[in-house]
Amino acid sequence: MGGISYYETDYSWMWEIAGFLGVAILAIAGVGWLLRKILGVERKKWFSHSSNFVNGFHEKVNNYFRWGNLAVYLLTLAVFGFQKGSLYFIIVTILIGGIQELFNAYMEKRYASNPNTYKYTLLHYPASMVILISSAWAFFPEMVDVFFGQLN
């Protein structure tokens, strides 16, 4: 026969993805829980607009960020393609997400009832990015090498 049959296919990559998702989600949730407890901040509801924005202007600008992100992502993939575009896509995601979180922190500092809400926002995003990048490096070292290889 000489060929690889369907039952001889290597599925170890599925365990790597499951491990990455499990570790990243649990670590980010744990850091968020710990920061909320230390700072005394209430957890925001996931699908509730009323608890995630301090006023109408905050919601409006946040929507501009979301649609602007989508446009920048599509433009990045159109200009650089899927090969090189993947690295730029990740960099743009982190940068624009950081700018969006800085705006959220600014609005929370000025208008939120809890004075620690903006501190939570400023601490949670960088901690989440460190967790995601280090988890990706631990579970997918060859992919990280590919991404860094694209910088050269």
**pLDDT, tens digit (0-9, with 9 covering 90-100), for 26-74:** 999 999 999 999 999 988 777 666 667 778 888 888 888 888 888 888 8
- Between 99 and 150, the higher pLDDT residue: 99
DSSP type of residue 92: H
User: For residue 3, is it within any domain?
Assistant: no
Task: Provide the domain limits for residue 133.
Answer: 17-44+52-144
**Residue 96 within a domain:** yes
C-alpha to C-alpha distances, 92 to 8, 44, 125, 126, nearest whole angstrom:
39, 25, 15, 15
Does any domain span residue 152?
no
Range of 2-6, 57-61, 127-131 with top mean pLDDT: 127-131
- Looking at the structure of the chain, the number of domains it has is 1
DSSP secondary-structure letter at 7?
Answer: G
Asked if residue 8 is part of any domain, the answer here is: no
Q: Give helix 141-151 / helix 117-139 axis angle, nearest 10°.
A: 100
pLDDT at 11: 74
Q: What is the CA radius of gyration of the chain?
A: 19
Q: Tens of pLDDT along 67-91?
A: 888 888 888 778 877 666 667 777 8
Q: Could you tell me the pLDDT band of residue 127, with boundaries at 50, 70 and 90? A: very high
- CA–CA dist 53, 36 (Å, integer): 17
Q: Answer yes or no: is 7 within a domain.
A: no
Out of 25-34, 70-79, 99-108, 109-118, pick the least confident.
70-79
Token couple for 35: 């920061």
Tell me if 6 is assigned to some domain: no
Which secondary structure element, helix H or strand E, spans residue 89, and what is its range?
Answer: helix 56-111
The predicted structure's pLDDT at residue 124: 94
